[in-house]
């Protein structure tokens, strides 16, 4: 039976809530999805669950048989749940609808032993931004030391059959997760203690391996959807379809197709549709609607069957001309009996809603979908990294051209999220000295870029320091005059800072500095050196003074700092110079500012 057979004649019907699964890598998102799908197939006939494009529909009666007494089908009007098959917040950000995430509800999977990890926090941030209701599946309870598994049992039943020590270990881990959620601004508790799921996040302990807690997970999702989302699930079944592009794919015999999640109305063969494109909305006609054959027939050579129409909520492959520039995450609208210009304007408005703010200068950003481009834009904005251009698609030579024109070397960079770098773009980047950063985890991508920026800044500071006169204060030691003049050679002790070869030397008398000469050589234990640091005793050749006249034994001398250098040291390099050097600088500035309060400012 196609998705629409039962509903088409009813002008308004309840659609299936769309469920997305998020969480840190290796915490069991795919295993949990596989468990739900696998159990659903076992519970029903092979054809009882509908395999959609990019999604799996699990009808209410199958959910009820999996959840046992936790779900009484008579209590529900909703037809079941539609699980998005590609887990991860990456797919979640792809799935946009008007005003936010396409998923109606999300499951955040957290490894009960591992707890919160960086991607957990990233997923939470996305859930917060899109205001999507979610529940936490505290997965892998079967790995708690001493766990005694009860296949597919509800959590309360299996929890009771564990030893006290095992229960205690599990409780500790669960309360750690609840504490982490609280740190992130979410009030949470174990799901059976939650009174109001709109105010509190329910935590459901589960095992994707043994199926324990899965009945509870399904029951909570059905209950939440029925109680809080029923109105949102009301759709005009016969109305023009509204959906989101999940993926743009080449399909043998059909050319470029779009895998689409439909969340309102219907789409029919020969309908005119408007799809968000790279440069402008694409207007085209549906040539074929393809859905996977039932699981029982999946071995047949032709993987898809052609259907005449599909109603929400569903995943469907749309074949139509001119889809090459369609973007993952972009809106799809059926025109039908509406004005084409109005529909194009709606699509443009939705695309503008996701547009990333760009500046005159900044980095180039590429992402695989519109939703992940938006997530990248948000994350870079928070990290105060400006963006000059942001687009969906692989890194191409023209991205390198844009990045190479940046005046600031830190901005000569392209950040690509979940995209490929085209070979000619890679070659071009090497020639133009543009840095490429690619990753499929947003926070890692930004970390790699900020590390790169820090290394450039360090190198820049080091270059400035190399070319700047460093402050120092030193004393001519008594009985250490080795030559009186041309040049004078004396033993000195460095009190603070760094004395460098070729520095000019001043002596302060009252509030007036007098330049007395220039360092023309430094020796430490008979060896020539370029500089001497605080605490060292060295012999110094000073061209200019005669010892006993302009300079006497016991005199305190200073490196003569040019005003511009003093200003750079105080305002830009304070944190890059040693404490004793800073001390010498501050004392030197203090002396000058007694004469002129604005010296070096």
Q: Does the annotation list 50 as a binding residue?
A: no
Q: What angle do CA 99, 100, 103 make, to 5 degrees?
A: 130
Q: Does the annotation list 30 as a binding residue?
A: yes
- Residue whose entry in the numeric block shows the structure tokens 């209590």: 75
Question: Which residues make Cβ contacts (< 8 Å) with residue 326, sequence separation at least 6?
Answer: 245, 248, 256, 258, 275, 276, 277, 282
d(CA 142, CA 477): 76
Residue 70 is given by DSSP the state: G
Q: Does the annotation list 554 as a binding residue?
A: no
Q: Does the annotation list 23 as a binding residue?
A: yes
d(CA 421, CA 413): 13
d(CA 33, CA 83): 8
E strand spans, 15-76: 18-23, 50-51, 55-59
Q: Within a 13 Å sphere around the CA of 263, how many CA atoms are in the beta-carbon half?
A: 24
Q: Does the annotation list 213 as a binding residue?
A: no
Q: Does the annotation list 25 as a binding residue?
A: yes
Let me know: does 222 contact 71? Beta carbons within 8 Å.
yes
Q: What angle do CA 508, 510, 511 make, to 5 degrees?
A: 80
- For residue 559, give both structure tokens: 């490196």
Q: Does the annotation list 29 as a binding residue?
A: yes
Q: Does the annotation list 420 as a binding residue?
A: no
Q: Does the annotation list 26 as a binding residue?
A: yes
Q: Does the annotation list 528 as a binding residue?
A: no
Question: Which is it for strands 531-533 and 488-500: parallel, antiparallel or unpaired?
Answer: antiparallel
d(CA 137, CA 117): 15
Let me know: does 428 contact 400? Beta carbons within 8 Å.
yes
| DSSP string covering 92-136 | HHH-EETTEES-SEEEEEEETTT---HHHHHHHHHHHHHT--EEE
Q: Does the annotation list 27 as a binding residue?
A: yes
Q: Does the annotation list 142 as a binding residue?
A: yes
Q: Does the annotation list 507 as a binding residue?
A: no
Q: Does the annotation list 141 as a binding residue?
A: yes
Which parts are annotated binding residues?
23-30, 85-89, 139-142
Which parts are annotated binding residues for GTP?
23-30, 85-89, 139-142
């Amino acid at each position: 039976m196609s998705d629409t057979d039962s509903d088409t004649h009813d002008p308004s019907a309840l659609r299936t809530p769309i469920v997305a699964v998020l969480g840190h890598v290796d915490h069991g998102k795919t295993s949990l999805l596989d468990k739900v799908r696998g159990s659903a197939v076992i519970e029903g006939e092979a054809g009882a669950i509908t395999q959609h494009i990019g999604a799996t529909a699990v009808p209410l009666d199958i959910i009820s048989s999996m959840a046992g007494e936790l779900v009484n089908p008579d209590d529900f009007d909703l037809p079941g749940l539609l699980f998005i098959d590609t887990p991860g917040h990456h797919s979640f950000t792809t799935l946009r609808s008007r005003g936010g995430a396409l998923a109606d509800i999300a499951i955040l999977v957290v490894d009960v032993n591992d707890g919160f990890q960086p991607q957990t926090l990233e997923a939470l941030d996305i859930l917060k931004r899109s205001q999507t209701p979610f529940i936490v599946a505290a997965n892998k309870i079967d790995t708690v030391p001493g766990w005694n598994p009860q296949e597919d049992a509800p959590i309360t039943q299996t929890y009771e059959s564990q030893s006290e020590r095992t229960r205690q270990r599990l409780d500790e881990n669960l309360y750690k997760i609840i504490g982490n959620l609280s740190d992130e601004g979410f009030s949470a508790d174990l799901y059976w203690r939650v009174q109001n799921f709109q105010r509190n996040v329910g935590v459901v302990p589960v095992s994707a391996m043994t199926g324990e807690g899965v009945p509870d997970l399904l029951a909570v999702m059905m209950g939440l959807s029925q109680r809080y989302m029923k109105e949102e699930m009301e759709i005009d079944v016969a109305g023009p379809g509204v959906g989101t592009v999940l993926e743009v794919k080449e399909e043998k015999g059909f050319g470029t197709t779009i895998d689409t999640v439909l969340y309102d109305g219907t789409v029919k063969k020969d309908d005119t549709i408007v799809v968000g494109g790279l440069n402008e909305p694409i207007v085209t006609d549906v040539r074929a609607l393809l859905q996977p054959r039932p699981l029982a027939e999946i071995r047949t050579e032709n993987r898809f069957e052609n259907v005449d129409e599909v109603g929400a909520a569903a995943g469907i492959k749309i074949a139509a001309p001119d889809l090459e520039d369609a973007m993952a995450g972009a809106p799809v609208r059926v025109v039908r009996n509406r004005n084409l210009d109005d529909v194009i304007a709606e699509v443009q408005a939705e695309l503008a809603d996701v547009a990333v703010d760009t500046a005159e200068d900044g980095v180039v950003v590429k992402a695989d979908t519109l939703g992940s481009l938006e997530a990248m834009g948000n994350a870079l904005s928070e990290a105060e990294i400006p963006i000059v251009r942001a687009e969906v698609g692989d890194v191409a030579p023209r991205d390198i051209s844009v990045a190479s024109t940046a005046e600031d070397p830190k901005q000569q960079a392209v950040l690509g999220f979940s995209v490929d770098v085209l070979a000619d773009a890679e070659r071009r980047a090497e020639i133009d000295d543009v840095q490429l950063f690619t990753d499929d985890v947003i926070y890692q991508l930004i970390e790699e870029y900020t590390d790169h920026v820090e290394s450039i800044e360090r190198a820049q500071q080091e270059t400035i320091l190399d070319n700047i006169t460093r402050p120092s204060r030193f004393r001519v030691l008594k009985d250490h005059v080795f030559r009186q003049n041309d040049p004078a050679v004396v033993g000195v002790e460095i009190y603070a800072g760094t004395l460098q070869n070729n520095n000019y030397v001043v002596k302060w008398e009252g509030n007036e500095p007098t330049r007395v000469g220039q360092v023309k050589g430094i020796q430490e234990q008979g060896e020539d050196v370029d500089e001497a640091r605080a605490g060292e005793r060295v012999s110094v050749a000073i061209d200019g003074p005669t010892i006993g006249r302009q300079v006497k034994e016991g005199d305190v001398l200073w490196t003569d700092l040019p005003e511009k250098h003093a200003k750079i040291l105080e305002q830009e390099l304070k944190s890059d110079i040693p404490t004793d050097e800073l001390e010498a600088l501050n004392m030197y500035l203090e002396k000058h500012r007694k004469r002129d309060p604005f010296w070096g400012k």
